[in-house]
Chain A
Amino acid sequence: MSPHISIKAEKVFEILGFPITNSLLVTTLVIVVFSFIARYYYQELQKEDRSLVFYGLHAMFVGLYGMFESVLRKNVNVFYGLLGSFFFFILLSNWSGLVPGVGSILIEPQIHLEEIAESKEIHETGKIPLLRGGTADLNTTIALALVSVFMTQLYGFKFLGPMGHLKKYFDFRDPIMIMLGPLELVQEFARIISFAFRLYGNIFAGEVLLTIVPFLLPVFFSFVVAPMFLMEIFVGLVQALVFVMLSAVFINMAVSHH
């Protein structure tokens, strides 16, 4: 039996011709969990005596706030909502791939038989995993990267005004800026790719690692996989942090005058 590695998320079923992939299912679950945590936090905030869980969450929020404050200075309150939700959504999505059952529960694919014959990546038993980690799908990470870059542009327009922001890209008074402006423009598109592939690559590589390692050394299975698991939890945290810190730095660059 060979390990099942698929570079893209598989289609589980269709709703009115709209494909629902296994990664989208997990992302939806993550959003539901995220909403419940946010609701719980808000409810506890209204009470007089608060639970210990509330203070645990609160400590995380305050720590993150301090981290953003060191980058964004006085504007931190404007951007904390966006960047904080980015962090916790990416964190939960990264960790969702490590939950037992995600990637190991196999189902019969609902797609037509000729499509199975075409795709070479199908499991040799003809089955596909029901669930797949949220950010282990390139679509999710590209969406996150697009939101991040688009909001950076939007905040640039909002804080510097249309002329002030466009002057970063099209400035014809200075011969150096004529050359550097288009480069800045290219950099914006490079950012989308770099954001998306960094997150996707790290999480997907982690999944591949966890799939491959038991086949390399089947005897001392748990002794090898347990440290790998801990490392993947750490990588998920670091990558979520890297994504938001980079977003924070780029937003700070976009809203500040040269």
Chain B
Amino acid sequence: MRLFATALAIGLGVIGPALGVGLIGSKAMEALGRNPEAEAPIRTTMILAAAFAESIAIFALVVALIIKFVV
């Protein structure tokens, strides 16, 4: 039962961040295509935004690890 809870926590938890990172990447590509000379700032902001989206997945991972090892 605990393994099931862990799997559900991480499995459902990463759906949102996955969509988010995909959207960030696609929008950055669009911006790059429209404005190729702004490559450096676009890359920096994209990596920062992707890290923010990824941190939501990390919250899910922490919850999954807590379910697995602590509770």
Interface residues of A (CB under 8 A from B): 5-7, 121, 194, 197-198, 200-202, 204-205, 208, 238-239, 241-242, 245
Contacts and interface: CB of A to CB of B under 8 A. Distances in A.
Given A239-B51, A241-B48, A5 B62 contact: no
Q: Most chain-A CB neighbours within 10 Å: which of B47, B48, B51, B69?
A: B51
B62 A201 contact: yes
Contacts of B61: 201, 205
30 contacts: A5-B69, A6-B69, A7-B65, A7-B66, A7-B69, A7-B70, A121-B69, A194-B55, A197-B55, A197-B59, A197-B62, A198-B55, A198-B58, A198-B59, A201-B55, A201-B59, A201-B61, A201-B62, A202-B54, A202-B55, A202-B58, A204-B62, A204-B65, A205-B58, A205-B61, A208-B65, A238-B47, A238-B51, A239-B51, A242-B52
Interface residues of B, number: 14
Given A7-B65, A197-B58, A204-B65, 4 more contacts: A7-B70, A201-B58, A202-B55, A238-B48
B5 to A, nearest CB: 16
Interface in B14-71: 47-48, 51-52, 54-55, 58-59, 61-62, 65-66, 69-70
Contacts of B52: 242
A105 B67 CA distance: 27
> Which 3 residue pairs are nearest across A and B when measured between Cβ atoms?
A201-B58, A198-B55, A201-B62
Q: Most chain-A CB neighbours within 10 Å: which of B62, B65, B70?
A: B62
A86 to B, nearest CB: 16
Contacts of A6: 69
Nearest to A246: B52
Contacts of B55: 194, 197-198, 201-202, 242
Nearest to B49: A242
B48 A200 contact: no
Contacts of B59: 197-198, 201
Contacts of B65: 7, 204, 208
Contact of A245 (B48, B54, B58, B62): B48
A201 B10 CA distance: 13
Contacts of A5: 69
